[in-house]
Amino acid sequence: MTANNEDQIKSASGIPIKDLYIPNDIKDIDYDKEIGLPGQPPFTRGVYQTMYRGQLWTIRRLSGFNTPEDTNNLYREEYELGQTGFSIAPDISTASGMDPDDPRVVSDVGHAGAPIYSLEDMETVFDGLPIERVSTFLADRVGGLLTPAYFIMAQKRGIPMDQVRGTTANDLCTWSSMELANQPTPHTFLRMSVDLIEWCAENAPRWYPISMNSYNPRDNGITAVQELGMLMATVIQYIEEAKRRGRVPLDKFVRRFAFNMAVHNDFFEEICKLRAARRMLLKIIRDRYGIDDPKCGQLRVHVQSSGSTHTHQEPLNNLVRIAYQVMAGVLGGAQSIHANGYDEAVCLPTDQSMLLSIRTEQIVALETNVTNTIDPLGGSYFVESLTNEIEERAWDFVKKIEEVGGMAQAINTGWIHREYKAAIIDYERKLRSGEINVVGVNKFRMEKEPHSIPIFKPDPKSADILVERIKRQREQRDNAKVTKALQNLEEVVRSEENTFPAIMEAVKAQATPGELAAIPLKVYGPWTYPIGV
Amino acid sequence: MVKDRVKILMAKPGLEGHWRGMTIVSSALRDAGYEVIYGGNMLPPEIGQTAAQEDVDMVGLSILSSNYMRLVSETLEELRKNNKDDVTVLLGGIIWESDFAALKHMGIAGIFTPGTPLQDIVAFVNTKTAAQPSR
């Protein structure tokens, strides 16, 4: 039963979609092997046996602004409104590994996230917040200060290292997807991020030291299929590196992987992407690397509504887009969700939009009843068929990346950035031709913006406060101790040893973000960002 | 020496890392026949110096981190210092309408927010450049 025009309708990734799916479309699927039960391999229907009936996803907004004090107030407010996890978005200087008085970054201090330059700043951000009960995501740079500062803070609060809960971003794809100052080369990045994974595998059993992240790459214009392929190629890259180093048993190493993916506009494709992702990870862990413990192949994923789908025009429309994207994340079985602010194509979220994003998740969780049964779309002729199709195409993309030498090499040579660029150009072409519809932009566009929304403006005084503070820190600390810690760090970076303990020591000695970032750059040299015209 | 093509420097003042908008605009301008120098993230003094060294006719800035008033003013000052105050300066990114008038008063010739059709940007550049680009 097919319609004449079936070739003409395609998913956002370009997968042809039929007018109707029937039992014949899934007749070759072996239910037990390919779908199975939730909580059991291959985890297509979910990583946990009880899914949302047992525990709802974590509501976790990536946020922060102005100063550590203002960020603390924001986190307290989010927590009171029912947010169930924290997530630090670093400001530009923190993300770039620069002190706020570095002349290169003065204009950017306190912008686009929370400035955290010391243990004291970290303690200010979490003052009065129950980190013993609530987990935190840190969008830390590799070899950065956020993870060590968080660990030291937890120790000072008397939380044993094996009880500290959270995630460090720490992934190659995320950081190389944006142009940032002080970026180490991809291979340096890989080495130092594996150092953290190995350290946590031995010392911090409830911490996820890496979040394999395809969210940011996705916003560079690639499709759901490419996103999934990149994600899995990254997993393979990290396992290969751990194997090569041979310091931590592989099962222990892969057990610490967390995931972070996008939820975009094509509703069913996004749901199927999440289902396919779980199955693909299990296949990599079990079939490719022979790790039999099914717990090692569980893809626990945080999803975020795709910023690149949000429009500057008629920003309130984004609220609707975000709600559908959150719903796709839920029907796809995510463990943690960030609903963006509807105003994020205009400014950092205001209080109003922060409230709305928490409420969006709560409404989906508590009012729609989609959580009543596990994987409600499982078994759908269309959904199972599309899940297979996405998986198959994503493996092809994994193969392409492996053919150019694996993920680190694909980034290093600029191959992946050429993919981004081609995708961006293709997206713009489709936008112009009308193959892609964006309401309010290329469809039903209004000449004049009909309604204005409140706009968040960063506090211009933040930078001065932060500059004063870091000057005081440099004056008051024991500089001999800092120098010694940094010299030790440099020696360790030059050796094959794990760098994380030396970074912890340097942070304890109050080394600054700029001092920490300078060392790998000195040893390995800077990286030239592979994007151009 | 007569330049045969209009030269445009595209740059992101400051260190904010979102390059998607600037890359796609750069490609569109190159495809329209302009000579585009893609500077990536550059500090205002570097923009001024590069504009002078490369003798560009136009500078395109992209800023998404809400600190554009400061960065634009610093960049225009650096262009003046380098005797390039005659260049046309365009601004793209997340720019609030309430600041448009002030930015234009400072000397920004055109402001393009997200979702602006690329052909509109190219058309604007075409009208601003006296010399027709030739390949």
Q: Where are the domains of chain B?
A: 7-128
User: Pick from B15, B38, B117: which is nearest to A533 by CB?
Assistant: B38
Using a CB-CB cut-off of 8 Å, the residues of chain A touching B74 are 107
| Same domain, yes or no: A407 and A299 | yes
pTM: 0.95
Is A71 part of any domain? yes
Maximal C-alpha separation, chain A? 78
| Numbered residues of chain A with Cβ closer than 8 Å to any chain B Cβ | 92-93, 95-96, 98, 103-105, 107-108, 111-112, 178-181, 219-221, 308, 311-313, 345-348, 421, 424-425, 428, 432, 438, 441-442, 449, 455, 457-458, 529, 531-533
Is A532 part of any domain? no
| Same domain, yes or no: A317 and A393 | yes
Using a CB-CB cut-off of 8 Å, the residues of chain A touching B23 are 421, 424, 531, 533
| Same domain, yes or no: A358 and A404 | yes
| Same domain, yes or no: A412 and A519 | no
Is A287 part of any domain? yes
| Same domain, yes or no: A515 and A411 | no
Cβ pair A313:B23 closer than 8 A: no
Nearest to A506 by CA among A522, A490, A494: A490
| Same domain, yes or no: A349 and A491 | no
pLDDT at A5: 53
pLDDT (tens digit per residue) in A433-454:
999 999 999 999 999 999 999 9
d(CA A184, CA A411): 12
* DSSP conformational letter for B122: H
pLDDT at A84: 95
Cβ pair A531:B40 closer than 8 A: yes
Is A449 part of any domain? no
Is A520 part of any domain? yes
pLDDT (tens digit per residue) in B21-36:
999 999 999 999 999 9
For residue B135, pLDDT beyond 80? no
Locate tokens 């000072």: which residue?
Answer: A156
Using a CB-CB cut-off of 8 Å, the residues of chain A touching B40 are 179, 529, 531-532
| Same domain, yes or no: A516 and A417 | no
* Parent domain of A382: 6-433
Task: Report angle CA B80, B84, B87 to the nearest 5 degrees.
Answer: 115
CATH topology of domain B7-128: Rossmann fold (3.40.50)
ipTM: 0.91
d(CA A56, CA A366): 10
Identify the CATH number of the domain in which residue A26 sits: 3.20.20.240
| Same domain, yes or no: A418 and A473 | no
pLDDT (tens digit per residue) in B41-71:
999 999 999 999 999 999 999 999 889 999 9
Say if CB A85 and CB A67 are below 8 A apart.
no
Cβ pair B67:A107 closer than 8 A: yes
d(CA A286, CA A305): 30
Domain stops at, among A412, A433, A454? A433
Specify the number of domains making up chain A.
2
Using a CB-CB cut-off of 8 Å, the residues of chain B touching A418 are none
Number of other CB atoms surrounding residue A108 within 10 Å = 27
Rounded mean pLDDT of chain B?
A: 93
pLDDT in tens, chain A (533 residues): 444 554 589 999 999 999 999 999 999 999 999 999 999 999 999 999 999 999 999 999 999 999 999 999 999 999 999 999 999 999 999 999 999 999 999 889 988 899 999 999 999 999 999 999 999 999 999 999 999 999 999 999 999 999 999 999 999 998 899 998 899 999 999 999 999 999 999 999 999 999 999 999 999 999 999 999 999 999 999 999 999 999 999 999 999 999 999 999 999 999 999 999 999 999 999 999 999 999 999 999 999 999 999 999 999 999 999 999 999 999 999 999 999 999 999 999 999 999 999 999 999 999 999 999 999 999 999 999 999 999 999 999 999 999 999 999 999 999 999 999 999 999 999 999 999 999 999 999 999 999 999 999 999 899 999 999 999 999 999 999 999 999 999 999 999 999 999 999 999 999 999 999 999 999 999 999 998 77
| Same domain, yes or no: A55 and A124 | yes
| Same domain, yes or no: A187 and A279 | yes
Phi (first) and psi of residue A213, to 5 degrees: -125, 120
Is A530 part of any domain? no
Mutate to test the interface with B, among A105, A107, A447 (most CBs of B within 10 A): A107
